[in-house]
Amino acid sequence: MRKISYNFLFIIGLALTLGMTSAFGFVDDKNKRPKNTGIVTVKTSPESYAVKIDGNKIGMSGTDAPAEFFLTPGLHRLEIEFPNGKVYTKEIEVFKDRRNCICLRYVEETIKRPCPYDVSVSAPENVIEGDLITFAAFNNVTGSTTPLNYRWTVSPDTIRITSGLGTEAITVDTTGMGGQRILAELDVTDDVYGKTCFQKNSVPTEVRSKPKIEAMMCDEFESRAFDDDKARFDNCVVQLQGNPDAQLYLIIYPGTDKISMTRNNYERLSTRTLDYLVKTRGVDPRRITIIKGTSNRLKSTYQIWFVPPGAPLPVPQ
């Protein structure tokens, strides 16, 4: 996380610097959390602080690694209690299977300045395409009650600001922005000191392209005795159990020799394979697809694939 501040003339005073990042990310590991929840992770520095959701304390923030909290989808009020009565509050929207990452830094420093505000801007250094990013501004002057005007602009101009215009934090959608950099700029003024205390800050975030999702081959083998075939099926079923969202996709290539055209033809192989996987191994039939490949092989041959959500289906060769 980076904090980008604006420098000014000084008078003696005490300032609190609060930097923040927030981004939504896809959650891949569903085995560690309750069903139908999203994850909120909170990391603070230099110490751990109390975290509240909807007014209830749910734990402490992480320092070396983020603390994880599982929440039901919907709007929630997040509060983090810092020293000297400083509280960070934000409404966050939790989505099923998505991660909301909060990273805050609390800094106490002695500053000298004539202005009643000293605004810093924070954002994550990088995110994955499709994440929601929050660019947040903080008035670091302790006890300042000066109402501020926040004017945000983002580039490239095709980026979509989903919420927060005119406030101290905006959220943008990075869909379609893989491999690009988003720059958020903030002009801050007030109605009293605007001419002398005008501040302009900017912070960039790099958007990494989303990893390509592809099908993975589990096995490929020629059909011989069905007991031998079942042993190969069993190995793939065990691996399928570790990929609860994947589909089992089988391509059967009919062979051209005598056995392949009689005992091991496509109709017989597909019927007994489906029967074995469902009735003996207990695989949900909705997770199984069996198709016929081209007849360009001497012996009938299986290809067994795992197809995760969003991956293109394998093409028979």
Per CATH, the number for 2-208 is 2.60.40.10
According to the model, what pLDDT value does residue 236 have? 95
Q: Is the pLDDT at 6 greater than 50, yes or no?
A: no
What is the rounded CA–CA span in Å between residue 181 and residue 117?
A: 29
Query: 81 or 198: which carries more pLDDT confidence?
Result: 81
CA-to-CA separations, 66 to 46, 48, 104, 159, 273, in angstroms, rounded: 13, 10, 11, 28, 46
According to the model, what pLDDT value does residue 30 have? 46
- Average pLDDT across the chain, whole number: 84
Q: Is the pLDDT at 241 greater than 50, yes or no?
A: yes
Instruction: Name the segment(s) of the chain with CATH classification 3.30.1330.60.
Output: 216-307
Query: 266 or 109: which carries more pLDDT confidence?
Result: 266
Instruction: Name the segment(s) of the chain with CATH classification 2.60.40.10.
Output: 2-208
What is the mean predicted confidence (pLDDT) over 227-239?
Answer: 94
Q: Is the pLDDT at 300 greater than 70, yes or no?
A: yes
Q: Is the pLDDT at 2 greater than 50, yes or no?
A: no
Q: Is the pLDDT at 31 greater than 80, yes or no?
A: no
What is the mean predicted confidence (pLDDT) over 146-155?
Answer: 89
30 is written with which tokens? 């569903």
CA-to-CA separations, 133 to 186, 204, 223, in angstroms, rounded: 15, 11, 51
24 contacts 144 by C-beta, under 8 angstroms: no
Q: Is the pLDDT at 234 greater than 70, yes or no?
A: yes
Cis peptide bond prior to 46, omega within 30° of 0: yes
pLDDT band at residue 109 using 50, 70 and 90 as cut-offs: low
CATH classification number, 216-307, choose in 1.20.1440.130, 3.40.50.1950, 3.30.420.40, 3.30.1330.60:
3.30.1330.60
According to the model, what pLDDT value does residue 97 have? 85
According to the model, what pLDDT value does residue 211 have? 83
What is the mean predicted confidence (pLDDT) over 282-291?
Answer: 95
Q: DSSP string of 43-86?
A: EEESS--EEEETTEEEEE-BSSS-EEEEE-SEEEEEEEE-GGG-
In this prediction the pTM is 0.47
pLDDT band at residue 5 using 50, 70 and 90 as cut-offs: very low
